[in-house]
Amino acid sequence: MALDVQMPILVVDDYKTMIRIIRNLLKQLGFEDIDDAADGTEALEKMKQRRYGLVISDWNMEPMTGYELLKQVRADAGLCKTPFIMVTAESKTENVIAAKKAGVNNYIVKPFNAQTLKGKIEAVFAD
């Protein structure tokens, strides 16, 4: 997969400020087509309407968490190839293992900086 700054990105977080932070960081990295959703349910609906090049999701949201969203995306034949990065304050070993087993492409622990976000996005598309 090649990294394309034109690709649409879906940012999923129930905290508006975090969406704003990630959106600004992505803009700084050259991405312009950025959409957002407040939880997994809204994200899944948007993903069924539009093909995103990357999903960046928080874990702890209601009603559908990012972990549930990841599992549903990987179980859906039409969405399962979508690159998925978890950006979360959930930093226990079991969370990382569960996300890896569920098929996450990369995992960023909050708080994070622009360099980390850039590095993980590049790593996902370098694989």
Partner 1 sequence: MGALRKEDVAGLITFLENNRERDGSVTLNDVIQLAEEMTGSMRAFLTAVQPTVTKELTAIADEITRLKGEILQLRPNDMKDNQIPEAGRELDAIVDSTERATETIMEAAETIMETGEQDPDAYRNLVNDKMIEIFEACAFQDITGQRISKVVATLNAIDARVSAFVERLRIAEGDDAPAEETDAERRKRELILHGPQHTGEGVSQDDVDSMMSSGAQDEIDKLFG
Chain residues that interact with partner 1, rule: CB under 8 A:
17, 20-21, 24, 27-28, 59-60, 65, 67-68, 89-98, 100, 106-110, 112, 116
In whole angstroms, the minimum distance from the beta carbon of 85 to partner 1 comes to 11
3-state secondary structure of 108: strand
In whole angstroms, the minimum distance from the beta carbon of 27 to partner 1 comes to 8
Q: Of 5, 7, 13, 26, which Cα lies nearest the Cα of 88?
A: 13
Q: Which H or E element spans position 94?
A: helix 93-102
Q: Which is nearer to partner 1, 46 or 110 (CB)?
A: 110
Q: Which is nearer to partner 1, 4 or 91 (CB)?
A: 91
In whole angstroms, the minimum distance from the beta carbon of 2 to partner 1 comes to 21
> Cα(26)–Cα(34) distance, rounded to whole angstroms?
8
Q: Which is nearer to partner 1, 34 or 51 (CB)?
A: 34
Q: Which is nearer to partner 1, 1 or 51 (CB)?
A: 1
Backbone φ and ψ for 100, nearest 5 degrees, come out as: -65, -45
In whole angstroms, the minimum distance from the beta carbon of 6 to partner 1 comes to 20
Q: Which H or E element spans position 82?
A: none
**Which stretches of 1-127 are assigned E, i.e. beta strand?**
9-12, 34-37, 54-57, 84-88, 106-109
Q: What is the DSSP letter of 4?
A: -
